[in-house]
Amino acid sequence: MKPFIAPSILSADFANLGQEVSAVLKAGADIIHFDVMDNRFVPNLTIGPMVCQSLRDYGISAPIDVHLMAEPVDNLILDFSKAGANYISFHPEASKHVHRSLNLIRENNCKAGLVFSPATPLTWLEHLIDDIDLILIMSVNPGFGGQSFIESSLKKISTTREIIDNSGHDIRLEVDGGVKIKNIQKIAAAGADTFVAGSAIFNSDDYEKTISAMKAEIKAAKN
């Protein structure tokens, strides 16, 4: 699967969001990671479907990867699918009926993702692997940008890679939290193919240089 760099707009300049998203795409980003926080599921508050729609109206045509850190999820799934999302992911703890929510995403023509916080066990996948297009392994606790990568996530990523390979399905393996130029190679080597990076990209002086360096590190992991 082609590796994707997914800048998280959580670290973008929200007063200039359209320009920021255009700039990272021009710099080589593949998809846009859109963090939704509700001050309930996580102790922070961000943006909703109206902002997703605004990016579409601004002319952004790249895939938008919505990461829900909010509860409940079903109403948000409907709203984000109408607002132009392509991927919608949620945490299993945030839905009373996880299988139903995953299917609701697919019924609304989006790719369905399930997110695993550091303490969330992969056992959820035993009964859901056929209903998933993307698995998101969190390498920090959800809620804030700029946190440090939790090293034990590497083992979880490689275990997830085995589960995906054994399933025979085309499922993306995304990693979110503390991804930097200096650690992206080992994250890729553990089996990830989709790399969320917020502060590493938006806090850098040169988006193009940062994204190119990340891509080179990912390539090096394959050699």
Ramachandran angles phi, psi of 142, nearest 5°: -65, 150
Stretch that binds ligand DX5, among 3-11, 17-25, 52-60, 88-96 (CB under 6 A): 3-11
Nearer to ligand DX5, 125 or 196 (CB): 196
Q: How far apart are CA 183 and CA 178, in angstroms?
A: 9
Nearest 10 degrees: Cα torsion 199, 200, 203, 206: -150
Q: How far apart are CA 195 and CA 187, in angstroms?
A: 9
Q: Footprint of ligand DX5 on residues 48-87 (CB under 6 A)?
A: 67
196 scored as a contact of ligand DX5 (CB under 6 A): yes
Which of 30, 38, 131, 176 is catalytic? The answer is 176
Name the one residue in this structure whose structure tokens are 């130029």: 181
Q: How far apart are CA 66 and CA 64, in angstroms?
A: 6
Q: Which of 4, 5, 33, 76 binds ligand DX5 (CB under 6 A)?
A: 33
CB of 176 to ligand DX5, least distance (A): 5
Fill in the per-residue mask, 138 to 177: x = in contact with ligand DX5 (CB under 6 A), - = not in contact.
Answer: --x-xxxxxx----------------------------xx
Q: How far apart are CA 207 and CA 213, in angstroms?
A: 10
CB of 159 to ligand DX5, least distance (A): 21
Active site residue 57: no
Active site residue 176: yes
Question: Residues near 124 by Cβ (< 8 Å), separated by ≥ 6?
Answer: 92, 98, 114, 116
Nearer to ligand DX5, 3 or 142 (CB): 142
Q: Active-site residue numbers?
A: 35, 176
Name the residues that contact Zn ion, by CB under 5 A. Answer: 35, 67, 176
